[in-house]
Amino acid sequence: MDKTKLMVVDDEVLIAMELEEDLTSMGYEVLGRATSGEGAIDMARQLSPDAILMDIVMPGTTDGISAAEIIKIELDIPIIFLTAYAEDQYIQRAKAVEPFGYIVKPFQEREVKATIEIALYRKDIERRLRKSEGKYRSLIDNVSEAIVSADSHGNIIYCNPSAETIFGYLADEAVGRPITFIWPERFREAYQEEMGLVLSTGKTKFIGKTVESKGLRRDGSEFPLEFTLTAIEIKKEIFFIVVARDITERKWTEEEREELIGGVLPICSYCKKIRYDQNNWEPIEEYIGQRTGTVFTHGVCPECYEKFIKPQL
């Protein structure tokens, strides 16, 4: 198994050398030592260590906290501050760069080792979560249903490409808007009340159920919409997710089937084609077959046989 590779940053050479010896005895590999913030950034770019133990106050224009911020943005390497400064002003600045540890000198080997191991474990979990999130995002980006998520205030934080297609808004245009804008005005109050009910009581009337409603496109047109509204809790915060599909085609099929079963269908007296969808005409076999699944075979009835076929024999 490869050793964990570390980098030490401290302007006090003797302390840095002693720390390097301690880390080596713990089983780590120290790739290099830097004595300034600027040197730490350059060395991190070249060596790409698994973690960096960083002093805070160092000579030069870039102290340890500033160097850690740059390294985090560019290289995403875990930083552990190892410093003699425990004043609040340093701690508050250090918190802003989200270090993986803050150890105040003098320190014990066990404390340093435990902090390094926890930092590496946290980083591994973060990377796994990002990888899983990437797979999940790829999945929902490619489903045919519209997926729209909102925060606890009901404001959109994400919508997938299918949502863009169905509702006509680009994701950047939708993010930040109330999630209720995907429904016509007359439905919004009821759905807003439902989300408020979940937040205040945890109870729900239709969350998690499939509901037929109307959707509202960017151009103002309405269309038949089927959706499921779900509430999930992440880190004690409620998020809402709408999974929706345009059911216009299904509704047309249902209406046409009702016409076929119990309504009036115009049929040509000569070619026997059926008129549907305003002024489109289709052979009767195709019309019925596509809407009912009926398979037709062709033959000759006795009456037509006597009238048309037999005389030709």
For 5-44, the pLDDT digits (tens) are 999 998 888 888 888 888 888 889 989 888 888 999 999 9
For 238-254, write each residue's pLDDT tens digit.
888 888 889 888 877 66
pTM for this structure? Answer: 0.48
On average, the pLDDT of the chain sits at 82
Does the pLDDT at position 191 exceed 70? yes
- pLDDT band, residue 223 (cuts 50/70/90): very high
Does the pLDDT at position 258 exceed 70? no
Total domain count, the chain: 3
Residue 303 token pair: 């009456």
Alpha-carbon distances, residue 31 vs 103, 110, 239 (angstroms) = 21, 21, 44
User: Which of 229, 246, 263 is the C-terminal boundary of a domain?
Assistant: 246
> Is 71 within 8 Å of 52 (Cβ atoms)?
yes
DSSP summary character for residue 61: S
- Residue 108 located in a structural domain: yes
DSSP summary character for residue 269: T
CATH number at residue 117: 3.40.50.2300
Query: Are 229 and 266 contained in the same domain?
Result: no
118-122, 133-137, 156-160: which has the highest mean pLDDT?
A: 156-160
Which residues make Cβ contacts (< 8 Å) with residue 157, sequence separation at least 6? 149, 150, 151, 175, 239
**What span, in angstroms and rounded, lies between the C-alpha atoms of 253 and 257?**
6
| 218 vs 282 pLDDT, higher one | 218
For 47-76, write each residue's pLDDT tens digit.
999 999 988 888 778 888 899 999 988 998
> Is 119 within 8 Å of 80 (Cβ atoms)?
yes
Query: Are 15 and 94 contained in the same domain?
Result: yes
For 262-313, write each residue's pLDDT tens digit.
556 678 877 778 776 667 788 877 777 776 667 777 777 888 777 777 777 6
- Residue 135 located in a structural domain: no
- Residue 137 located in a structural domain: no
Neighbours of 169 (CB within 10 A): 20
CATH number at residue 160: 3.30.450.20
Query: Are 15 and 38 contained in the same domain?
Result: yes
Residue 130 token pair: 């990002």
Query: Are 41 and 113 contained in the same domain?
Result: yes
Which residue range is the domain that position 299 belongs to? 250-312
- Residue 133 located in a structural domain: no
Query: Are 163 and 216 contained in the same domain?
Result: yes
- Residue 228 located in a structural domain: yes
- pLDDT band, residue 190 (cuts 50/70/90): confident
Alpha-carbon distances, residue 245 vs 212, 224, 249, 250 (angstroms) = 10, 9, 11, 11
> Is 187 within 8 Å of 213 (Cβ atoms)?
yes
Query: Are 76 and 40 contained in the same domain?
Result: yes
Which residues make Cβ contacts (< 8 Å) with residue 74, sequence separation at least 6? 41, 45
User: Which of 219, 246, 273 is the C-terminal boundary of a domain?
Assistant: 246
- Residue 171 located in a structural domain: yes
- Residue 240 located in a structural domain: yes
Neighbours of 54 (CB within 10 A): 28
- Residue 134 located in a structural domain: no
**What span, in angstroms and rounded, lies between the C-alpha atoms of 35 and 62?**
11
Query: Are 242 and 277 contained in the same domain?
Result: no
